[in-house]
Chain A
Amino acid sequence: MALQQETRKKLVTLALVGPAGLWLFVFLVLPFIAMVVFAFGKRAPEGGYQPAFTFEQFANLGSRAAAFVNTLMLAPVGALACLLIAYPVAYYLAVKASPRHRLLLVSLVVVPFWTSLLVRTYAWMYLLGARGIPHLLELLGIENVRLINTPGAVLLGIVYGYLPLMIMPIYVSLEKLDRRLLEASADLGAKPVSTFFGITVPLSLPGVMTGLALVTILLLGEYLIPQLLGGGKVFFIGNALVDLFLQSRNWPFGSAIAVTLVVVVVIVLMIAMRIAWRFAGTRQVDLV
């Protein structure tokens, strides 16, 4: 009887996680293993992969340092820029907006996702390009402003594209923040500014950390925005990978870069999780 129940439990577990597990194994784990194997290989003369065991590819990472520097600079800076803009918006939505309008306003944050990022980034390409904002500035007498194909343009595109991903987790954590805690703080004599920095901000940190981790990780693999708004001048790792796999067909070197990126992402994620958990750990029960 007991044994049967055990077996049943195991079967249910298998049925629940089996399909997803199989999917991940076939389409994530196996390709990743292949990639690691490639990374230690050699480029075949005609392009592609030739079996070998060499650290040559990793030793060569320096030749793509610019892509790493751009990515590792602009991803966190972009995420922080998103945070600075997103926090006030999320705060307004969760705390200040009237409940009647809240749903509408929150959906307005999400609406941009309904159109393709590609289309919206093309729009920015035009706006920042010679016939866009620089042209308008010229009419006002401000000449020679170059916007497109600069790190600034890429940063702008990043903030524009990723802002909703930062707003949502912060909004969620602020929204479930117990208002009585804010009242208790005021009751104990804290001015609104003290309440904000002493209670609201610390208790929304899990949302902030989630947003930062989410945006940073996605940005580390970003390809589209630097491609369109950086115009080959502001190169991300994503762009380097496309170049290596599709243009120069140097699969082993591309794999080495990709593996290195994964390692970096995992480290970033672990640090972010640890910080988020430290704060989350203190607020388990009470906020329900």
Chain B
Amino acid sequence: MASASPDDIEFRSVTKAYGAVTAVRDINLAVPKGSFLALLGPSGCGKTTCLRMIGGFEQPSEGKVLIDGREMNGVPAYRRPVNMVFQHYALFPHFNVAENVAYGLKQMRPRIAQGEIDRRVAEALAMVRLDGFAKRRTHEMSGGQQQRVALARAIVNRPSVLLLDEPLAALDKKLRSAMQIELQTLQRELGITFVLVTHDQEEALSMADQVCVMSAGRIRQLGTPQEVYDRPADLFVADFVGKINRLSAVLEADHATIRLADGTALNVGARPNVPAGAVTVAVRPEALRFLGAGEDAAGRTVSGTVTHRIFLGSGVEYAVDIDGLGDFLITADRGGHAAEESLSAPGDRVRLAFDPAAVHVFSSMDPA
């Protein structure tokens, strides 16, 4: 016990194997008190296994999981100071809303007085804005309401950590955005640590203050949403978090110039950590800018033909066949309320400039 305020959750060299399959390999992770961590990755990356090891539904094969500085190996789920919002909510079908929420309180020993239980249930329901729903049957409620019941049921015990397993996956897009804001608000109000598991990068980036990108049982990158998006540690992270255009190129000996397949040389600034030679370049769709007729951006321009235009409302997405390089995805602002005529159309010849800071260069040796 080194520090006075230990991290809420700590993974020390945690490995979890199921027979010959290793779900999680040598994970080291510390989640500070009061933070909102998202475990992000494709299905099968081990994120859910990590969450279940915190919840006590799985035990690590090797290493230790600590909660509040206390080692949790061998401690069953019902003795852990954490609560979970399950993926499909797992509401008890034979209980109504209030009974579901009260369930955790009724397990407490010494027993809590009924009046106190009622008070805390009402408080939790108010917190998720479900006042007046106490007597409802859970299967009579919409997905969004069920999700709030699950949330109320999990926070009513005042856990030191709240675990959320793909909590928004079953909701439609509009409801999902609303719940994202609500979860964030709730986390701030409660001041407890949230650990969210999701495969949806938008969800992770918008809610969490720390994002842990995982693949194949390992942590690829841990950082703030901005760090993970703007400075991806490897090609996998770049690809998984947001969209990228991928190019093969050669990094010259100066570690700053990349030569593209068509011979174009681009100065992308010093990249001392990438070995010279074959590299893979990842370019975000918003890192390419359309150049006006007279504009120039010396040494960083390419030309191409627009093949598709996808209108997104707030912006426009173009597919551009760049001469000698192939298809690129480019997103552009509409530039206020530009008239449709001012937008590029399929068949148009366009010139584009790279934003060198937004060009990510990875050694082609990197696995992705």
Instruction: Identify the interface centre among B55, B78, B82, B108: most chain A CB within 10 Å of its CB.
Output: B78
A144, CB-defined interface residue at 8 Å: no
With contact pairs A188-B103, A188-B157 given, residues A183 and B94 touching in the complex (Cβ less than 8 Å):
no
Whether A199 and B76, one on each chain, are in contact in the complex, defined by CB atoms closer than 8 angstroms, is: no
A-contact 0/1 string along B56-80, CB 8 Å cutoff: 1100000000000000000011110
A279, CB-defined interface residue at 8 Å: yes
B272, CB-defined interface residue at 8 Å: no
Instruction: Identify the interface centre among A188, A189, A198: most chain B CB within 10 Å of its CB.
Output: A188
Whether B90 and A183, one on each chain, are in contact in the complex, defined by CB atoms closer than 8 angstroms, is: yes
B138 surroundings in chain A (CB, below 8 A): 286
Give the distance to chain B from A276, nearest Cβ to Cβ, in Å.
13
Chain A contact surface mostly: helix
A191 surroundings in chain B (CB, below 8 A): 78, 107
In the bound assembly, the distance between CA atoms of A56 and B181 in angstroms comes to: 79
A46, CB-defined interface residue at 8 Å: no
B-contact 0/1 string along A250-288, CB 8 Å cutoff: 000000000000000000000000000001001111110
CB closest chain-A residue, reference B104: A188
In the bound assembly, the distance between CA atoms of A187 and B164 in angstroms comes to: 12
A-contact 0/1 string along B295-325, CB 8 Å cutoff: 0000000000000000000000000000000
In the bound assembly, the distance between CA atoms of A183 and B88 in angstroms comes to: 12
User: Which of B55, B87, B94 contacts A187, CB < 8 Å?
Assistant: B55
Give the distance to chain B from A191, nearest Cβ to Cβ, in Å.
6
A44, CB-defined interface residue at 8 Å: no
Whether A180 and B93, one on each chain, are in contact in the complex, defined by CB atoms closer than 8 angstroms, is: no
User: Which of A180, A198, A285, A287 contacts B86, CB < 8 Å?
Assistant: A180
Instruction: Identify the interface centre among B82, B83, B86, B90: most chain A CB within 10 Å of its CB.
Output: B90
With contact pairs A189-B78, A199-B92 given, residues A183 and B57 touching in the complex (Cβ less than 8 Å):
yes
A21 surroundings in chain B (CB, below 8 A): none
A185, CB-defined interface residue at 8 Å: yes
A194 surroundings in chain B (CB, below 8 A): 107
Whether A286 and B93, one on each chain, are in contact in the complex, defined by CB atoms closer than 8 angstroms, is: yes
CB closest chain-A residue, reference B81: A189
A118, CB-defined interface residue at 8 Å: no
A284 surroundings in chain B (CB, below 8 A): 93, 139
Instruction: Identify the interface centre among B82, B88, B103, B138: most chain A CB within 10 Å of its CB.
Output: B103
A283 surroundings in chain B (CB, below 8 A): 93-94, 139
In the bound assembly, the distance between CA atoms of A194 and B79 in angstroms comes to: 13
Whether A186 and B90, one on each chain, are in contact in the complex, defined by CB atoms closer than 8 angstroms, is: no
Whether A188 and B56, one on each chain, are in contact in the complex, defined by CB atoms closer than 8 angstroms, is: no
B40, CB-defined interface residue at 8 Å: no
CB closest chain-B residue, reference A279: B94
Whether A184 and B90, one on each chain, are in contact in the complex, defined by CB atoms closer than 8 angstroms, is: yes
Whether B91 and A186, one on each chain, are in contact in the complex, defined by CB atoms closer than 8 angstroms, is: no
In the bound assembly, the distance between CA atoms of A168 and B333 in angstroms comes to: 63
A240, CB-defined interface residue at 8 Å: no
B-contact 0/1 string along A218-256, CB 8 Å cutoff: 000000000000000000000000000000000000000
A138, CB-defined interface residue at 8 Å: no
Give the contact-size bracket for chain B.
20 to 34
Whether B103 and A190, one on each chain, are in contact in the complex, defined by CB atoms closer than 8 angstroms, is: yes
Whether A189 and B94, one on each chain, are in contact in the complex, defined by CB atoms closer than 8 angstroms, is: no
B153, CB-defined interface residue at 8 Å: yes
Whether B90 and A188, one on each chain, are in contact in the complex, defined by CB atoms closer than 8 angstroms, is: no
Whether B93 and A287, one on each chain, are in contact in the complex, defined by CB atoms closer than 8 angstroms, is: yes
Whether B86 and A186, one on each chain, are in contact in the complex, defined by CB atoms closer than 8 angstroms, is: no
User: Which of A187, A282, A286 contacts B83, CB < 8 Å?
Assistant: A187
Instruction: Identify the interface centre among B82, B87, B88, B93: most chain A CB within 10 Å of its CB.
Output: B93
In the bound assembly, the distance between CA atoms of A287 and B153 in angstroms comes to: 19
Whether B153 and A183, one on each chain, are in contact in the complex, defined by CB atoms closer than 8 angstroms, is: no
Whether B86 and A184, one on each chain, are in contact in the complex, defined by CB atoms closer than 8 angstroms, is: yes
A143, CB-defined interface residue at 8 Å: no
Give the distance to chain B from A282, nearest Cβ to Cβ, in Å.
5
B84, CB-defined interface residue at 8 Å: yes
With contact pairs A180-B88, A184-B84 given, residues A202 and B103 touching in the complex (Cβ less than 8 Å):
no
B-contact 0/1 string along A164-206, CB 8 Å cutoff: 0000000000000010110111111111101000110011000
B255, CB-defined interface residue at 8 Å: no
B137, CB-defined interface residue at 8 Å: yes
CB closest chain-B residue, reference A195: B78
B-side residues, CB < 8 A to A, are 55-57, 76-79, 82-84, 86-88, 90-94, 103-104, 107-108, 137-139, 153-154, 157
Report 21 cross-chain contacts, Cβ distance below 8 Å, ordered by A residue.
A181-B92, A184-B86, A184-B153, A185-B103, A187-B55, A187-B57, A187-B77, A187-B82, A187-B154, A188-B83, A188-B103, A188-B157, A189-B79, A189-B108, A190-B78, A190-B103, A199-B92, A283-B93, A283-B139, A285-B93, A287-B93
Additional pairs, 10, CB under 8 Å, beyond known A187-B83, A284-B93: A180-B87, A180-B88, A180-B90, A184-B84, A189-B108, A190-B78, A190-B103, A282-B137, A283-B139, A285-B93
